[in-house]
């Protein structure tokens, strides 16, 4: 019998990295500098590789003749379980960096916690992914600090991005019934258990960047983990899935 809880939880993990990878790939050839263009493309590839691991494991758990490609390209928006943060548009470079910082801090904390998972395969995916994500976090935090503590214009633009994207940062820490069931099985911790350390880490980065931290008690968007998304995800998937939808089963 399929382990539905673990399957759905792995979908969340794989969808987060898949959708953010697709977003970052949109910068390829359009970055503000060649080095940044290459860096974002490499991060997108890292996240895509991690998504492959999560969705492949989900397909194995499902045991229904689907693989990671089927899960990526043949599901509609309401079947995706990523948090709404990762589907937000790239905006300007400040928006992209702040979105990445919010996700990277959570991602690193989450992966570290999974090293102790009762599921050995999940612990192994986390161990492999954490090596890449540790770099992602160093890079995004360094750039936010440099721009926040830079010119008046760079400071103002990063502060605007911090404020605009703050409402999407909190869904990562909201517990639902699936989260509680997974925590009870010691597969992963409750998302809420990572919240304080995330805030402390972000606060330290913002202090160095001379940025004002929004209120911890601000209202937060949610629903992505249950399949309720912003309009942006549909457009993203329309581009990402076009070839497979137009030419089903195509291979080259």
Specify the pLDDT at position 167: 98
Task: Note whether residue 29 is domain-resident.
Answer: yes
Residue 104 lies in a domain: yes
Does residue 125 fall inside a structural domain? yes
Residue 28: inside a domain: yes
> Which residues, including other chains, have CB under 8 Å from residue 143's CB and lie 6 or more apart?
97
The number of domains in the chain is: 1
| Residue 251 belongs to a domain | no
Structure-block tokens of residue 224: 């992505």
Is residue 26 included in any domain, yes or no?
A: yes
What torsion do the CA atoms of 66, 70, 71, 76 make, to the nearest 10 degrees?
-130
| pTM summary value | 0.96
Unique residue bearing structure tokens 């989900």: 58
Q: What is the CATH number of the domain that holds 227?
A: 1.20.1260.10
Written as tens digits, the pLDDT of the chain (252 aa) is: 889 999 999 999 999 999 999 999 999 888 788 888 899 999 999 999 999 999 999 999 999 999 999 999 999 999 999 999 999 999 999 999 999 999 999 999 999 999 999 999 999 999 999 999 999 999 999 999 999 999 999 999 999 999 999 999 999 999 999 999 999 999 999 999 999 999 999 999 999 999 999 998 899 999 999 999 999 999 999 999 999 989 988 777
- What is the extent of the structural domain holding 235? 4-246
Q: What is the chain's alpha carbon radius of gyration, rounded to the nearest angstrom?
A: 18
């Amino acid at each position: 019998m399929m382990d539905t809880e673990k399957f759905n939880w792995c979908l969340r993990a794989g969808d987060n990295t898949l959708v953010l990878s697709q977003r970052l790939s949109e910068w390829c050839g359009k970055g503000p500098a060649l080095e940044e263009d290459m860096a974002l493309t490499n991060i997108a590839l890292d996240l895509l590789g991690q998504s492959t691991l999560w969705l492949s494991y989900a397909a194995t758990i499902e045991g229904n003749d689907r693989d990671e490609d089927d899960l990526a390209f043949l599901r509609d928006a309401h079947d995706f379980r990523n948090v709404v943060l990762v589907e937000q548009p790239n905006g300007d470079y400040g928006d992209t960096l702040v979105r990445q910082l919010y996700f990277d801090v959570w991602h690193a904390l989450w992966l570290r916690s999974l090293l102790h998972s009762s599921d050995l395969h999940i612990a192994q995916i986390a161990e492999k992914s954490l090596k890449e994500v540790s770099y992602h976090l160093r890079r995004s935090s360094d750039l936010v600090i440099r721009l926040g503590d830079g010119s008046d214009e760079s400071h103002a633009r990063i502060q605007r991005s911090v404020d605009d994207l703050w409402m999407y940062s909190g869904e990562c820490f909201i517990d639902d019934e699936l989260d509680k069931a997974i925590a009870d099985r010691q597969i992963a911790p409750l998302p809420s258990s990572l919240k304080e350390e995330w805030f402390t880490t972000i606060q330290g980065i913002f202090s160095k960047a001379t940025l004002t931290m929004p209120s911890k008690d601000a209202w937060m968007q949610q629903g992505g983990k249950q399949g309720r998304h912003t309009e942006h995800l549909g457009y993203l998937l329309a581009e990402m899935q076009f070839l497979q939808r137009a030419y089903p089963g195509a291979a080259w």
